[in-house]
């Protein structure tokens, strides 16, 4: 089940990190959160910020205009 897609294009860090953490805090087991970003710093900062969440799987896919950060709560 997907929680939602958060479009953070045009937002610079730390704003994407704050929004992703808010979304992750609402995830239930088995849900997925997809975040679209175009700030290169976000693809480094978001996974670093989520290191303290042991029940998450994080992947990053490159797109033509940025990246999609896919977070699954196990």
Query: Which tens digit of pLDDT belongs to each residue from 11-55?
Result: 999 999 999 999 999 999 999 999 999 999 999 999 999 999 999
Question: In whole angstroms, what is the distance from residue 40 CA to residue 26 CA?
Answer: 25
pLDDT number for residue 3: 60
pLDDT number for residue 19: 96
pLDDT number for residue 38: 97
Q: Which residue has the tokens 């978001």?
A: 46
pLDDT number for residue 39: 97
pLDDT number for residue 4: 67
Q: Does domain 2-73 have CATH number 3.30.110.40?
A: yes
């Amino acid at each position: 089940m997907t929680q939602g897609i958060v479009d953070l294009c045009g937002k610079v860090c730390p704003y994407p990190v704050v929004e992703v953490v808010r979304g992750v805090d609402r995830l239930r087991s088995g849900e997925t959160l997809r975040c679209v970003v175009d700030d290169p710093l976000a693809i480094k900062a978001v996974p670093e910020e989520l290191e303290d969440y042991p029940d998450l799987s994080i992947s990053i896919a490159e797109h033509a205009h940025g990246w999609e950060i896919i977070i699954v709560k196990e």
